[in-house]
Amino acid sequence: MRHSPALLALLLALPACLGSAKRVTAYHTGGAMAAPPYLDATAGESYAPISENAMVAVADAPRSTFAIDVDTAAMSNVRRFLEDGALPPADAVRIEEMINYFDYAYPDPESGPFAVITEVGPSPFHPGRTLLHVGLQGKRMAAAELPPRNLVFLVDTSGSMHDPNKLPLVKQALGLLVEQLDARDRVGIVAYAGGVGVVLEPTTGDQRDTIIGALANLEAGGSTHGSGGITAAYALAREHLDPQAINRVILVTDGDFNVGISDEGELVKLIEKERAGGIALTVLGFGTGNLADSRMEKLADHGNGNYGYIDDLAEAKKLLVEEAGGTLVTIAQDVKVQVELDPAQVESYRLIGYENRLLADEDFRDDGKDAGELGAGHSVTAIYELVPAKTASRGAAVATVRLRWQPPGGGEATELVTDAVDAGADLGSTSHDFRFAAAVAGFGMLLRGSDHAGDATWTGVRDLARGAADADRSGRRLQLVSLIETAARLSGADLGPTVAR
């Protein structure tokens, strides 16, 4: 539906006369209700409850199956809490997203969409146990290699987006992406508040001033008709659908829908219906106080897309400029991992994180079962903690790792099989990537107050991360060290002197 600018402004603001309709609920962590120190108790943020994976006996279940996860929202959201002087609620801490936030020095694939690495080494959390590190590296693409982009920005302009870290930051973030576009690309803009309207018809990327001008004119006000916006954005994307291009809706919001369909289950059904048309969904969360994290994660997962949280302009640059290939370009879809443990080598195991990505073993070869999408340049890491069997021997394969995926858009599935061998190295001889990912996992377990943290301490994970920051190319590994120290202080811990790990 197209409107004149004046009528559009009026429709988007409705029902502004009733107020901004910002949701008022208790702060929800999936368990008890509480208010973090820096948030008003009447504000509400929602997180899906997480029940951590338990140790599993290999004799009972030798195979572990899960869908990959390339979302990174949890790490930047955790950073936001810590920098604002509060420990995050446990259910905001999705450990797999924290691990996958960081770059790893995985090799580029020699053929196919991704390379696979495995490494086994001692666990820093429990003496006598080992960690199995599984890494995937998606094929990297230079900016010149990216296919044309058919993008629709779906912008929440409701009253709850008025804060400086919401709509004003949205405009800056999307502006960074617009600066990367050219004449091959198209951008349309749909805004939604009390009403829904097309702000900008699909416009070629070389008309940057026009696109950025349309963004600049957006103003916050009214309630939040999220489902109407989703429907309109997909319709606009379909008008210029190009099978050879990136066809994607980019939803920017705090996730607080309160007009139209607001039930998460119904919203997921809407997204699943829309994704069948070959248009993917990226969800970018903004702001504090009423962040509907659980809703945004579900929409991205079911929209064949990814979910990021943008807390500042540096994070916007990371997601929309530095990692534009991974954020926008799918190189493999429905990627599944199945790890089969050898009972002669492993007595029991635990997958750290991925609680909401677990699959039944029979789902691995069910190509109708939705799983995660891998973007260009994306890396994915999973860590298992293993209890060795009494018959275990060094140099033996502890597990067989299988991966299965389909090409973008669907088609015949491909399967890759590799063995994970216990080389028997001490922790100091493992790779920087192994030790750093383990430090992030330990940090996440401490933040969650996990029963599986074992001997992990703030000092230990700080030192492990610092010792593995040598290959840091972006400064983000050192930033994690600082965040660990902040979390330790907030928890009342005495860090003590640094010890090289």
Q: Average the pLDDT over 342-369 and give the result.
A: 97
| pLDDT tens-digit map of 185-205 | 999 999 988 778 899 999 999
- How confident is the model over 359-380, as pLDDT tens digits? 999 999 999 998 999 999 999 9
pLDDT range class, residue 267, cuts 50, 70, 90: confident
What are the phi and psi torsion angles at 454 (to 5°)? Answer: 55, -125
Position 263 scores a pLDDT of 65
In this prediction, residues 50-70 reach a mean pLDDT of: 97
In terms of Cβ atoms closer than 10 Å to its own Cβ (0-12, 13-18, 19+), residue 284 is: buried
Q: Tell me how far CA of residue 314 lies from CA of 282, 296, 307, 318, 474, in angstroms.
A: 18, 21, 17, 6, 11
Comparing 12-26, 61-75, 370-384, 391-405, the range with the smallest average pLDDT is 12-26
Last residue of a domain, one of 311, 328, 345: 328
Using pLDDT thresholds of 50, 70 and 90, give the confidence band for residue 21.
very low
Let me know if residue 199 belongs to a domain.
Answer: yes
What mean pLDDT is predicted for residues 281-297? 91
**In the prediction, which pLDDT does 225 show?**
63
pLDDT for res 261: 57
User: Is it the case that residue 277 has pLDDT exceeding 60?
Assistant: yes
Strand 149-156 relative to strand 246-253, pairing: parallel
- 497 in a structural domain: no
Residues spanned by the domain of 108: 56-141+330-429
Residues 162 and 287 in one domain: yes
Confidence at residue 2, expressed as pLDDT on a 0 to 100 scale: 53
What confidence tier does 23 reach under pLDDT thresholds 50, 70, 90? very low
Could you tell me if residue 353 is inside a domain? Answer: yes
Both 198 and 130 in one domain: the answer is no
316 and 389 co-located in one domain: no
As for how many domains the chain has, the answer is: 3
What's the whole-model pTM score? 0.89
User: In terms of domains, do 63 and 128 share one?
Assistant: yes
234 plus 289 within the same structural domain = yes
Sign for the CA dihedral angle at 51, 53, 54, 60 comes to positive
3-state secondary structure of 208: helix
